[in-house]
Amino acid sequence: MVSIVQTKRECYICGLPATLELHHVFFGVSNRKKSDEDGCVVWLCHYHHTGSKNSVHFNIKIDREIKKQVEGIWLKHYDKTVEDFIKRYGRNYL
């Protein structure tokens, strides 16, 4: 799976190169598959993925910040508009 966000395999938050888990930035029944297709995935260490209260799955502030960053990258990478993103993923995070 190719990420449009990262070229190196390291935690997107802290840079740790070990204990990595793949995180689908936009998840849910249909958005997980779209995240795969569009490269909207990031590597996270276990601590920042599901292993603590500071993980993307348990801290909405961190989750929303990553979504916001990746939406901006998606817009530039695919040369699309916010409206295109909303059509694809159902909402805007910017």
**pLDDT for 19-40, tens place per residue?**
999 999 998 888 999 999 999 9
Query: Model pTM?
Result: 0.92
Q: With the C-alpha atoms ordered 90, 66, 27, 84, is the resulting torsion angle positive or negative? A: positive
Name the stretches of the chain with pLDDT < 50. Answer: none
Residue with tokens 């276990």: 46
Count of beta carbons in the 10 Å neighbourhood of residue 80:
13
pLDDT recorded at residue 28: 85
